[in-house]
Structure 1
Amino acid sequence: MNGKFLCGLLVSLLISGCGDDNTPTEKVLKEQFSNQFHGRLILDSIDIKETSVDGNKRTYAADGLLSTGYDLYTPVASLTDYIVVQKSWDKGKDIKFSATLNSLGNKDTGWKTIFSSLQMSETPKGNPIPNVETDGKYIIMDGAGFDDKINAIKDEYARKKSKLNELNNDIAKVKTNILVINKEIDECWGKGEDGKTQSRYFVQRDLNKELELFNKENAPYYFEKKYNAEVFDPAMKARR
C-alpha cells in the first residue's frame, strides 16, 4: 500500500508539476502582448501548452482570441479641405490566432515573454486615426451626420465658386480699365514730327538726346574752347 501511495503521489507531482511557478499569468501575458504590439493588438483570451523547458526558459504553443486596440479606417476620397474615410475594421471583432510563446522567469522574478510566428484568421485592414470622430477634417462614410457634412461641403463649394466668378469678372474689368488708361497715357505723349502718336519710349529717347547735346555743348571744355575762339582770341589780336 505504501509503495502504491508513493507512486501515485509521484505521478501527481509530475502532472501538477513544481514548474507551475514558471508559467506566466494571464494578466502578464495580456499586458506584455499589448506592449509588444504597441497597443494595436489586444489579447482577449489565450490557451498555452508547454512544448519545451530549459531551466527557467519555457516555450509554449499558444492559441486564442485577440482584437485590435482601435477602430481602423481606410481613405476613400480626398477633397480640398477634407478626407473621406471608411471604417474598415471594428476593434471589437474577435480574431483567432496561434503563436509561439517564449517565456523567461517565474512568479518571484517576474516574466519576460515574447510572441512569435503569429498567425491570424483575418488580417485587420486600415490604420487608426486619432480623434477621427471629432477632427473636422475627416468625414466618415455612412457615419453620423455624413449626409449633412456632404451637403455643407457642396454649399461651401458653391459659395466659393460664386465668389471666384465674381473675382474673375472684377479682374476682367480691371484689365479693360488698364487698357483704357494705357491708351490715354499713350495719347499724352503727343505726336512726333511725322504726325504719329508718340510713345513713352520715343519721348524719353528724344529727351535723352537733347540732354546729351546740352551737356556736350555746355561742358567746361567746349565752353572754354568757344570762349577762346569768340572772345579771348579776338581780344588778344586787337591789343596787338
Structure 2
Amino acid sequence: MQASPVSSHEADPAALQVRSLSFAQPWQWLVLGARDAMRAPLIALFYGLCFWAMALLLGWVFRASPEYVMSMASGCLLLGPFLAMGLYELSRRLEQGQRPQLGASLLCWSRHLQSMGMLVMVLMVLEMLWGRASMVVFAISFDTGMPTTASVLQTVVRRENWEFLLIYTAVGGVFAALVFGFTVVALPTILDRDADALTACITSMRVVGLNIGVMLLWAAIITVLVAVSLMPYGAGLLIVGPVLGCASWHAYRASVELPEAQPEAA
C-alpha cells in the first residue's frame, strides 16, 4: 500500500513533505535493508565490524567501570548514526543504479560539513546531559561510593532496588527517545537533500509526530534486534548493524519527499 503524502505547511515550495506510514512498512524496510547489504557484502561487513567493535568496547567499560556505561552508550549512540551514514550512501547509490564504493561511503559526510557539525553539537549536548543524569542516578542510589560490576548486577536483580532500576531506565528512555526523534530521518535528509541541521531535525520530529505508532514499532524493532545481536559477544552486529543502517535509508525514503514541482508561470 502506498503511503499517502501529507503536505508541508511551509511556504517555501522546496520545503520537505512527510508521509503517513503503515504498520507493515517497517518490516518492508528490513527486507530492503537486507537486500542492499547482500548486494554490497564487503562494504556491509566493514561497517558491521565497526559496530561490533563499539559493542566490545561498551562491554569492556561495563566490566571495568559500570558507572560510565550510560555515558559510553550515549557516545556509541552519537557515533552510530554517523557510521550508518555510510550505509545510507550505499543504499542511495544502489537506488540510483550506481556502484557502491567504500571510499565514497566513508567520505559522504564531507559534502555536508556545516549541517553535520550543527547536528553533532546537538547530539553532544544530549550525550553530556544523558551521561550527567545517569551519574546522578548512580550517586543517589549508591551513597557508599560508585558500584562495581557485581554490585550493579545485584542491584538489578534485588527486589528492594526496583526504584533505582525504574529511574535509571526512565532517564535512559527519555534521552534515547529524544535522540531517536531528532535523528530517525535527519541524517538521510542531510545526505539526500543537503538540508541544514535544523530543517533535518524538524523534519525528523514531524515524521515521528505524524506516525507515532509506526515509529514506536520501528524503534522497538531496532531495540530488539540490537539486543539480540549483542548476546553472542555482540557478533550479531556484523549482520544486524548493516541491515538496520540500510533499512533506515528506506525508512527515510518512505517518510520524506519533496513536494511536486510547480509549473512555471508563462
TM-score past 0.5 threshold: no
Which one has a larger percent helix, Structure 1 or Structure 2?
A: 2
Which one has a larger percent strand, Structure 1 or Structure 2?
A: 1
Q: TM-score, normalised by structure 2?
A: 0.19
**Which of the pair has more CA radius of gyration?**
1
Q: TM-score, normalised by structure 1?
A: 0.21
Q: Which structure is richer in relative contact order (CA contacts within 8 A, separation 6 or more)?
A: 2
